[in-house]
Amino acid sequence: MNTRIDVELKAAGDAALAHLGYTPSAAVRGFWQFVVDHQDDAAAVREVIEPDAASALSDEASRKAAAIVGLRSLYEQTTCELGIPSKAEAGLPSWDDLREDWYDERLEREA
């Protein structure tokens, strides 16, 4: 296998591996085994290959979750200010009730 590695990174990596008692070939075999063992866990592989990208994705997920919480809060505030009843107060049917009504209507039409 031929790979392009920055000269300084290669030297630092070789020194670190030697200090730990590993060869570059052993490190590559270990990494390949890690990828095979975690082939269904893209986040784990991404964390090893691109640690900054994995944390950026985590930051983005946190940002989106915070935005959703903020939107829900604004929605609740707006409905309250406009006097729009909440779902519970409005007596809206549940999805299960709607589905049951739909099936009942179909059965009545077929009968």
- C-alpha separations of 73 from 50, 81, 87, 90 in Å: 35, 12, 15, 19
- Tell me the average pLDDT of the chain: 86
d(CA 54, CA 60): 10
Kind and range of the H or E element at 34?
helix 24-37
Helices within the chain (DSSP H only): 7-20, 24-37, 42-49, 51-82, 87-90, 95-110
* Structure confidence at residue 57 as a pLDDT band (50, 70, 90): low
Closest CA to 13 of 1, 104, 2, 26: 26
Domain ranges, ordered by start, for the chain: 1-37, 51-111
pTM of the model: 0.46
